[in-house]
């Protein structure tokens, strides 16, 4: 890596990531205090393993990695098929267990699918991407791992793949008629899937998520306890290793799904707000990387990795001369905050008036 590459490296992304990892390790240490730090040790091991991988990928050109994406994709499909033959853990066959180490192939397949899709799409012009046969091919590449993940079943991870594919197609400049058609299909499909396809436990999770007090002693219990934990933390928290909800067994599973509740209880609102700000900064800088990438391949890879963001902020257009232009939504977090406060102020005036 030369001086120019070091200068062009988005160090803010790395700094935000390191800070979030440190906060997560502190929270995980506290949450796994009653289990001989098993989850903390696993997480620390993966952090140590990831450091040399990070350094290697910084030195290797992403074009070379993209050329190997076909092999990564095929390997991912094989692993996603093989994991279906394993024993179920918490009702899902999503993990390979190698002694104390558990590996979820769907997480590694995310990167492989994004790389493969980016490699295929970067070789197409905008006109080609909008041709039905090419579009069906792109969707087919994404649909195969999605179906395998649904069979596990892991609907949350499958949704992440769908969002990644949609974001990449949007950035590539897919025509509005496809967007409108897909939107109408989703509107029609949601009630059909909810009433006739989703199993009862999946429906219950959605209903309890919207209103945990429907089953306060059953499915909604963990959500209610997590809210109590966050509220108990107040501004600065109860102190590291001193969370009552965390250490008295009211949060479960506290090392995974409810780790944010642990942070809220022990580190308080200030730390929770800091985490949200760090994620906003991370997402914003990642979007900037996708917008300013020197070629389509880099732009698609960055957009696919930043799949969980609100992708209306940026879109890449290509004209017939292969030059690029960018559209950026005018709505910002600050403007949305202003609008919300103005709405609350007007509502308050109406209440006082009547």
Residues in the chain: 354
Q: Which residues contact 299 (CB under 8 A, 6 or more apart)?
A: 171, 290, 291, 293, 316
**CA separation for the pair 104, 107 (Å, rounded):** 6
- pTM summary value: 0.77
pLDDT at 308: 44
Question: Is the previous residue joined to 150 through a cis bond, with omega within 30 degrees of 0?
Answer: no
pLDDT at 347: 40
pLDDT at 200: 82
Q: Which residues of the chain register pLDDT less than 50?
A: 308-354
Q: Could you tell me which of 76, 46, 21, 56 has the C-alpha nearest to residue 259?
A: 21
pLDDT at 307: 66
Kindly state the greatest CA–CA separation across the chain: 68
- Residue 254: both structure tokens together: 């506290």
Phi/psi at 61 (nearest 5 deg)? Answer: -65, 135
- Burial grade of 200 (CB within 10 A; 0-12, 13-18, 19 or more): exposed
Asked whether 264 and 237 are in contact (CB, 8 A), the reply is: yes
**CA separation for the pair 45, 69 (Å, rounded):** 26
Q: For the segment 246-264, what is each residue's pLDDT rounded down to a tens digit?
A: 888 888 888 888 999 999 9
pLDDT at 1: 57
pLDDT at 317: 38
Q: Which residues contact 325 (CB under 8 A, 6 or more apart)?
A: 316, 317, 319
Q: For the segment 127-144, what is each residue's pLDDT rounded down to a tens digit?
A: 888 999 999 999 999 999
């Amino acid at each position: 890596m030369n001086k120019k590459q070091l200068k062009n490296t988005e160090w803010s992304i790395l700094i935000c990531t390191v800070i979030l990892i440190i906060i997560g390790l502190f929270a995980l240490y506290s949450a796994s205090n009653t289990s001989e730090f098993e989850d903390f040790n696993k997480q620390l091991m993966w952090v140590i393993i990831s450091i040399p991988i990070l350094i290697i990928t910084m030195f290797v050109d992403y074009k070379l990695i993209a050329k190997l994406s076909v092999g990564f994709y095929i390997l991912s499909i094989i692993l996603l098929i093989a994991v279906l033959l394993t024993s179920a853990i918490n009702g899902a066959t999503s993990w390979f267990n190698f002694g104390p180490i558990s590996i979820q192939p769907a997480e590694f397949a995310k990167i492989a699918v994004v790389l493969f899709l980016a490699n295929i799409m970067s070789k197409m012009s905008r006109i080609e991407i909008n041709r039905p046969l090419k579009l069906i091919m792109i969707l087919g590449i994404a649909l195969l791992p999605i179906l395998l993940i649904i069979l596990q079943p892991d609907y949350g991870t499958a949704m992440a793949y769908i969002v990644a594919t949609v974001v990449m197609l949007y950035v590539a400049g897919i025509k509005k008629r496809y967007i409108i058609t897909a939107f109408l299909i989703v509107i029609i499909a949601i009630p059909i899937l909810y009433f006739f396809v989703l199993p009862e436990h999946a429906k219950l999770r959605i209903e309890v998520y919207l209103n945990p007090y429907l089953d306060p002693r059953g499915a909604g219990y963990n959500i209610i306890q997590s809210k109590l934990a966050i509220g108990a933390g107040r501004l600065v928290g109860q102190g590291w290793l001193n969370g009552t909800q965390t250490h008295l067994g009211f949060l479960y599973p506290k090392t995974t799904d409810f780790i944010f509740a642990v942070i809220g209880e022990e580190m308080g609102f200030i730390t929770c707000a800091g985490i949200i700000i760090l994620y906003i900064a991370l997402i914003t800088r990642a979007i900037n990387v996708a917008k300013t990438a020197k070629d389509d391949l880099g732009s698609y890879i960055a957009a696919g990795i930043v799949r969980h963001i609100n992708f209306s902020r940026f879109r890449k257009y290509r004209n017939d001369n292969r030059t690029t232009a960018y559209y950026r939504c005018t709505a910002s977090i600050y403007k949305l905050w202003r609008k919300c406060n103005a709405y609350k102020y007007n509502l308050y005036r109406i209440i006082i008036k009547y």
